[in-house]
Structure 1
Amino acid sequence: MVLFKPIKTSRASEDVFVQLKTSILSGTFKSGSKLPSERELTEMFEVSRGVIREAIRMLELSGFLSIRQGHGGGAYVTDLTLSHVSNAFLDLFQTNTLSMAEVAQVRMFIEPEVARLAAINFTPAHAQQIDEAEAREHGTYQSLTDQIACLTTVHKVLANICGNQFFEAIVRSMLKITAEMVQKVVPDPYALHGPGEHIQLIKAVKAGDGPKAEAEMHRHLKDFMISMVKLEKEYRQQMKAQP
């Protein structure tokens, strides 16, 4: 049985949240496992059910738990993946905590380095992966979402090839934020980014030329991110207008 410390402070739900979160991160409660019942947690922490419910709700909103109803229902530990990072940054952007100018600054700093590392780590085994990503840009799109996904696949592939999972998580987070804004305020993504714009970048990566790949990524992103920063005002206005 897991032993928790009884809660005696006025911020009881936050303290319960921290202890449960620590237990999940340490592996005491593994992915897919069910937390003890509300009654059991109430007894362990020596708090009210309301406190437990609030802590569980905080864990659910943070992506650590999913709540299942019906027979066998309860609070289950989710499969923690890097996608949680992307969702968290998107939430910060949507609530105007992060600005597009800040996202642009980080993209201009990190993605050229990601391209350089991808060139250094590139092997013949990666060729098909990156060629297929480039080919997707020239295909037929099923929707605006699909079009944006196809035009950004090369960035995701390079982030994967670079060999740093943290860089990959950051790149995917920034791409998710960019996609959110493009979908809201750019009817035709081709106005910002057409197919085939990654060709020189891909050539540099395939050649194993790190400095060239870094320079090509910087060149590719520069005008695009300037346009995105200018579009943020329109995005914020549209978000305010939503019911």
Structure 2
Amino acid sequence: MTEPTALFQQGVAGSPIFTKVHTRRGFEYIYEQIRNAIAEGQLKPGDRLPSERDMAQIFGIARQSVREALRALEASGLVESRLGVAGGVFIREGDPRVVSRAMTDLASLGALSPSSLLEARIILTSDIIRMACERATDDDFQKLDEDIAFTEQQASTEAGVERTAQIMEFYHILASATHNEVLVILTDSLSQIVHLRLNRAGPKPNKDIGKVRRRVLNHLRARDAEKAISEITRHLKRLEKVLLQAEKAKALELDTSS
């Protein structure tokens, strides 16, 4: 683990990593300098940042601005605070949930249209199925089988948030069958948005979901990617149609009650 203050003052090649701040919104510049140092590999997971007092001296700025920058970095998933004698603020390991949160926020703010999300989901899931047909192991198929069995048990319940979270787990396991962690992260990000939309619209039991997924699994086991893609694409399009209708009904209900 890199010693904090000396590295910040001297840098890797003898020049300082950071420069003093000369602006009223200094915390933003501190945030950017630390973020850039991480991107360039000058700061690595596990490195401890100097204390607030030392950072204030390094940047030539008030401790309050340092505190605001650290809060922003922690909210972004770049650093974490640890308590105790060996505590402090550390560069954290990469957290895939940051991607999911960012995409979910964009969707919540209306920056991602439902049609674009559906299109992306179909393209991504299709490629995942093709890759899973080539790479999936018997253990992967077993996990999908167990998940489908559990979903079939839960499909008729009114469990709401918990039930929709379980329904989304299928796509996580399917993406994991590609043995490509990037595809898993992207899948989880899109699934989180669907999860949010389902719960906002008011999730309804879908007794056919187990049958659809079992047909997909049968095609996967037969290594027939195109049939599996056709099955899941029909399902995703039906789901989007139901979601849009529910969202419109919800919006109309809010308009009439206001």
Please state which band the TM-score falls in when normalised by the shorter chain. 0.7 to 0.9
Q: Residue 172 of structure 1: SS of its match in structure 2?
A: helix
Q: Are residue 195 (structure 1) and residue 214 (structure 2) matched?
A: no
Q: Residue 89 of structure 2: SS of its match in structure 1?
A: strand
- For the 8 Å contact 2:49–2:90, the answer to whether it is kept is yes
Q: Residue 81 of structure 1: SS of its match in structure 2?
A: coil
Q: Are residue 116 (structure 1) and residue 130 (structure 2) matched?
A: yes
* Percent identity (aligned): 25
- Matches of 1:113 and 1:215, distance apart in 2: 12
- Does 1 or 2 have the higher relative contact order (CA < 8 Å, sep 6+)? 1
Look up the match of 2:72: 58
Q: Which amino acid aligns with 2:196?
A: E
Give the alignment of 1:79-158 within 5 angstroms.
79-140=93-154, 143-158=159-174
Task: Return the offset for 1:137.
Answer: 0.8
Q: Are residue 161 (structure 1) and residue 166 (structure 2) matched?
A: no
Decide which of 233, 236, 257 is 1:221's aligned counterpart: 236
- For the 8 Å contact 1:100–1:232, the answer to whether it is kept is no
Call closer, same or farther: CA 1:189–1:170 in 2, change over 3 Å: farther
- Matches of 2:175 and 2:152, distance apart in 1: 21
Task: Return the offset for 1:234.
Answer: 5.3
Task: Return the offset for 1:96.
Answer: 2.5
Task: Return the offset for 1:6.
Answer: 2.2
Task: Return the offset for 1:12.
Answer: 2.9
Look up the match of 2:55: 41
- For the 8 Å contact 1:198–1:220, the answer to whether it is kept is no
Q: Residue 30 of structure 1: SS of its match in structure 2?
A: coil
- Higher mean alpha-carbon deviation, 125-134 vs 198-207, is at 125-134
Task: Return the offset for 1:10.
Answer: 5.4
- Matches of 2:247 and 2:28, distance apart in 1: 34
Q: Residue 41 of structure 1: SS of its match in structure 2?
A: helix
- Higher mean alpha-carbon deviation, 99-108 vs 18-27, is at 18-27
Call closer, same or farther: CA 1:86–1:27 in 2, change over 3 Å: farther
Cα RMSD, aligned residues only: 3.0
- For the 8 Å contact 1:101–1:229, the answer to whether it is kept is no
Decide which of 28, 43, 68 is 2:43's aligned counterpart: 28
Q: Residue 155 of structure 1: SS of its match in structure 2?
A: helix
Call closer, same or farther: CA 1:48–1:86 in 2, change over 3 Å: same
Task: Return the offset for 1:79.
Answer: 3.5
Q: Which amino acid aligns with 1:102?
A: S
- Matches of 1:171 and 1:149, distance apart in 2: 13
Q: Are residue 170 (structure 1) and residue 194 (structure 2) matched?
A: no
Decide which of 19, 23, 27 is 2:33's aligned counterpart: 19
Q: Are residue 180 (structure 1) and residue 196 (structure 2) matched?
A: yes
- Matches of 2:96 and 2:221, distance apart in 1: 27
